[in-house]
Amino acid sequence: MDIRFSGVSKVFYPDITALEDVYLEIPKGEFVYLVGPTGSGKTTLLRCITREVAPTRGQITVGSFSLRKISRVDLSIFRRDIGIIFQDFCLLPHLNVFENVAFVLEVLGAPSREVKERTGEILDQVNLWRRRFLYPPQLSGGEQQRVAVARAIVNSPSVLLADEPTGNLDLHTAEEIMQLIMSINALGTTVIMATHNQYLVDAFRQRVIGIRSGRVVRDEKRGRYNLDGEL
Amino acid sequence: MGSFKYALRDGTRLIIRHWGLAFLTVVTSMAVFYLIGASVLLVLNARHIVNFLEGELSVQAYLAPGADFEIAARQAATLTHVKEVRIITREMALERLKQRMPDRAESVTILGENPLPESLEIAVDRADSIESVVTALAAIPLIDDIVYAGGLAEKWARFSRFAGKFSLAILLVAITASAVVLFNTIRIAVYSKEEEIGIMLMVGATPTFVAMPFVLQGVILGGIGSFGASIFLALSYSGIITRLKEMVPFLPLLEQHAVVLELGLILVGAGATVSLIASLVAVETFTRRAMKPL
């Protein structure tokens, strides 16, 4: 799904400008890093795509969906094609690894056989099949994030949004997660990843969009995290 | 089918997770629906008694000496609320007396002449119209005296009307109370799963899918409450009827089991419907807010 931002601004009450006049084109299958200091507007931009945040001005289109006016039923249908990875994992502590991943397919009304098969495949892919009966508090940070990745991709979304997915992880684990996300992107999924991790951005070079004070200040095809002290 | 299985499993989980609250909700809705059922039975019985008494209603009008009872009967028949006018001749009156009090009838005719007067027996359509019929009869000059025993029926009719209004008020208060209790129970359950619902909505679950377990939880609790109320109502009504029959044997009460069974089914249906609406409102309010963008 292509993603297009046309003059998008977001002002939170009373007058906090989170995004200002953002124009972006992200074609299907692209990998994009969103970089910028804390509070620059990266998360707001991601939340605009999931329509948790509605722009004050401007237009966002994702595939055939125009997000300005979308019904609740259409929003549900639209969100089925978006996978989200949060920095703090957002796993349900009373469900085990298998149930946390299967939960997505269940709420989408998939038949139980398909739920079992598909969840098994994904857990195998993220190397967590043997730990499927453990609960989130029994897992390491890296394992929890791998569960979050598995949950985000189990229904094969067209777009994967990752909000600082390696923020709580050591470098080695962060690399593992990064390789996993890259492999998902290689299968044609558009990935937009907000990150502060300079090493990963520089090691796995992709398109980099720099944001500061809600404005897009840099957009490079194969960029680096920080070029000559600038974003 | 998969969705329903999920809703059933999750709805049951919710009840087990909040078992204390679920128990209180069932007890409250049981009490509320028992109250509704009891007041409906009270009204049905009051109406039954009024109908019975109305079937027995008649006014006895005694004619003035020398009055033509045919003319008096025609005049009485023209009055509103008069169902039937029968002429009771002296011979018919004596015959009735003999039937009612066989041992005293002879003492009445001991002088050789029948002293009983001619009269009109006037049947009235409804208990509450008896007063107006008596007033109209008193205005007919051919009629000398009026005797009627409709006071009791009249009082019952008034009581029946009062009971009808009272039970309607109880019904409204009770249903509102039941809906509020169920609404709050479901709302607590919804808030306890706030995070889970948030994730469900983010991964594309429809609001209907999210609502299903909660609605099912509400319908199960409301249904159990109203079913329990129906069982208690049937048992207690049967006990009360037996005792009343011993104490006031002449009082005509509703004894058909079909009435209680029908009322029970209506109560269970009402319980399920009220809880369905209350749960839907509780979840819908939450999901609407959760899906509203910032």
Substitution target in B5, B199, B210, B212 with the highest count of A β-carbons within 10 Å is: B199
Please indicate if any CB of chain B lies within 8 Å of the CB of A77: yes
The verdict on whether omega for the bond into residue A14 sits within 30 degrees of 0, i.e. cis, is yes
Last-in-domain residue among B133, B149, B165: B149
Same domain, B201 and B285: yes
Same domain, B116 and B23: no
Average pLDDT, chain A: 87
Share of chain A above pLDDT 70, in %: 98
Q: Quote the pLDDT of residue A230.
A: 52
Same domain, B89 and B23: no
A153: Cβ contacts below 8 Å, ≥ 6 apart: A83, A122, A160, A184, A189
> What is the C-alpha separation between A180 and A130, in angstroms, rounded?
18
Cβ atoms within 10 A of the Cβ of B133, count? 26
Q: Quote the pLDDT of residue A32.
A: 94
Q: Quote the pLDDT of residue A66.
A: 84
Last-in-domain residue among B131, B149, B167: B149
What is the rounded average pLDDT of the residues B120-133?
79
pLDDT in tens, A188-214: 899 999 998 888 888 888 899 999 888
Q: Quote the pLDDT of residue A208.
A: 92
Phi, psi of A216 (to 5 degrees): -80, 115
ipTM for this model: 0.79
Q: Quote the pLDDT of residue A24.
A: 92
> What is the C-alpha separation between A123 and A153, in angstroms, rounded?
11
Give B285 or B46, the one with higher predicted confidence: B285
Nearest chain B alpha carbon to A156 = B203
pLDDT in tens, B59-80: 888 888 777 878 888 888 888 8
Confidence label for A30 from pLDDT (cuts 50, 70 and 90): very high
Q: Who among A90, A111, A115 is closest to B199 (CB)?
A: A90
> What is the C-alpha separation between A189 and A207, in angstroms, rounded?
15
Fold observed for domain A1-81+157-165+189-225? Rossmann fold (3.40.50)
pLDDT in tens, B5-36: 777 777 787 778 778 878 888 888 888 888 88
Cβ contact, residue pair B203, A79, below 8 Å: yes
> What is the C-alpha separation between B62 and B142, in angstroms, rounded?
9
- Based on the structure, what is the number of domains in chain B? 2
CATH classification of the domain holding B68: 3.30.70.3040
What is the rounded average pLDDT of the residues B119-142?
81
Q: Who among B2, B207, B294 is closest to A72 (CB)?
A: B207
> What is the C-alpha separation between B146 and B60, in angstroms, rounded?
6
DSSP secondary structure letter of residue A136: G
> What is A75-116 written as a DSSP string?
HHHHHTTEEEE-TT----TTS-HHHHHHHHHHHTT--HHHHH
Q: Who among B196, B200, B294 is closest to A54 (CB)?
A: B294
Q: Quote the pLDDT of residue B227.
A: 92
* Domain spans in chain A, listed from the N-terminal domain onward: 1-81+157-165+189-225
pLDDT in tens, A134-157: 998 999 888 888 898 889 888 888
Confidence label for B55 from pLDDT (cuts 50, 70 and 90): low
Same domain, B96 and B234: no
Examine the pLDDT at B234 and tell me if it is beyond 70.
yes
Domain that holds residue B228: 2-53+154-291
Substitution target in A19, A107, A156, A163 with the highest count of B β-carbons within 10 Å is: A107
Same domain, B199 and B280: yes
Cβ contact, residue pair A72, B205, below 8 Å: no
Confidence label for A31 from pLDDT (cuts 50, 70 and 90): very high
Q: Quote the pLDDT of residue A4.
A: 92
pLDDT in tens, B244-261: 877 777 777 777 777 888
Residues 193-222 of B with CB under 8 A from A: 195-196, 199-207, 209-210
A88: Cβ contacts below 8 Å, ≥ 6 apart: A168
Label the pairing between strands B58-63 and A215-220: unpaired
Residue holding tokens 């949060």? A86
Q: Quote the pLDDT of residue A222.
A: 84
> What is the C-alpha separation between A61 and A14, in angstroms, rounded?
27
Give B52 or B221, the one with higher predicted confidence: B221
Q: What angle do CA B269, B275, B277 make, to 5 degrees?
A: 100
Same domain, B99 and B208: no
What is the rounded average pLDDT of the residues B210-226?
85
Cβ contact, residue pair A109, B2, below 8 Å: yes
Contact list in A for residue B5 (CB cut-off 8 A) is 112
Same domain, B36 and B94: no
Helix (H) / strand (E) element for B87: namely: strand B82-88
Substitution target in B10, B193, B195, B202 with the highest count of A β-carbons within 10 Å is: B202
Examine the pLDDT at B105 and tell me if it is beyond 90.
no
Q: Quote the pLDDT of residue B248.
A: 73
Examine the pLDDT at B270 and tell me if it is beyond 80.
yes
Q: Is residue B83 exposed (0-12), middle (13-18) or buried (19+ Cβ within 10 Å)?
A: middle
Q: Quote the pLDDT of residue A73.
A: 85
* Backbone φ/ψ region at B3: left (φ over 0), alpha (ψ -120 to 50), beta: alpha
Confidence label for B119 from pLDDT (cuts 50, 70 and 90): confident
Closest residue by Cα to residue B182 from B287, B32, B286, B16:
B32
Q: Quote the pLDDT of residue B153.
A: 64
Same domain, B145 and B41: no
Examine the pLDDT at B51 and tell me if it is beyond 80.
no
Confidence label for B1 from pLDDT (cuts 50, 70 and 90): low
Contact list in B for residue A82 (CB cut-off 8 A) is 204
Examine the pLDDT at B150 and tell me if it is beyond 70.
no
Helix (H) / strand (E) element for A177: namely: helix A171-186
Residues 97-116 of A with CB under 8 A from B: 103-104, 106-112, 115
Cβ contact, residue pair B206, A73, below 8 Å: yes
B201: Cβ contacts below 8 Å, ≥ 6 apart: A76, A79, B207, B210, B287, B290, B291
Q: Quote the pLDDT of residue A23.
A: 93
Same domain, B261 and B127: no
Last-in-domain residue among B120, B149, B178: B149
B80: Cβ contacts below 8 Å, ≥ 6 apart: B129, B132, B133, B136
